[in-house]
Amino acid sequence: MEAAYRIETERTVLRCWEPKDAPLLSAAVESSLDHLRGWMPWAAGEPKSLDERAEFLRAMRAAFDRDEEYVYGIFNRDESAVIGGTGLHRRDDGNCLEIGYWVHVDWIGRGLATEISMALTNAAFELHKVDWVEIRCDPSNARSAAIPHKLGYSLDATLRRRRTTPQGQPEGTMIWSLFADEFPQSPAAAVKISAFDALGRELV
């Protein structure tokens, strides 16, 4: 298995974070805080100082290099701006990876999370050879749930009261999945990704 350190999509570059991305990531998070707070539990610990951000990115980078999980920055094509964060996260219930995502508030509503999730679904099956890919989201997060639905994932279950919202309300979790034998016929397989290893060699 070869981890993709860089994936190019039509409008974005997904790449392994580097500590020096801290200022661009801080700018993106800070301008999107209101939009993130309802949905991303980590937003409660924001804003972070630049040093804390760099430490966080060092930890993400280390986990990536150790093949523990693959957290990517989402950049515009010339990499002058961070337009979100995404990742392939391991789950301990089988040979699967879970996709997570958030998009900078100024970039939402343009199909970018769909484009990115399509690319990571491809990477999970073609490079990591997983048996299935999962996407989890709150039942009330209609924008997020629209993404696995569009990509051909099935809703396996909605678990009740799995977390508490920042407003103190119990909230459930939807579990969407796509299996390896379903992938070739799914809308998620409609693109071919350009993925590159740590040496910059093309993978797929």
Q: Does residue 166 have a cis bond before it (omega within 30 degrees)?
A: no
Q: Which one, 39 or 179, has the nearer CB to ligand COA?
A: 39
**Minimum distance, C-beta of residue 199 to ligand COA, in the bound complex (Å):** 31
Q: Which one, 56 or 101, has the nearer CB to ligand COA?
A: 101
Q: Which one, 35 or 61, has the nearer CB to ligand COA?
A: 35
Contact 134, 94 (CB under 8 A): no
**Minimum distance, C-beta of residue 146 to ligand COA, in the bound complex (Å):** 4
Contact residues for ligand COA, defined by CB under 6 A: 35-36, 39-40, 101-103, 108-114, 137, 141-144, 146-147, 150
Tokens, residue 112: 């970018």
Tokens, residue 81: 């701006």
SS3 state of residue 26: helix
Query: In one letter, which amino acid is 75?
Result: F
Alpha helices in the chain (DSSP H): 22-37, 50-65, 112-126, 142-150
Query: What gap in Å lies between CA 59 and CA 2, rounded to an integer?
Result: 20
Query: What gap in Å lies between CA 190 and CA 124, rounded to an integer?
Result: 15
**Minimum distance, C-beta of residue 85 to ligand COA, in the bound complex (Å):** 9
Q: Which one, 16 or 32, has the nearer CB to ligand COA?
A: 32
Q: Which one, 114 or 186, has the nearer CB to ligand COA?
A: 114
**Minimum distance, C-beta of residue 158 to ligand COA, in the bound complex (Å):** 13
**Minimum distance, C-beta of residue 41 to ligand COA, in the bound complex (Å):** 10
SS3 state of residue 108: coil
Contact 81, 28 (CB under 8 A): yes
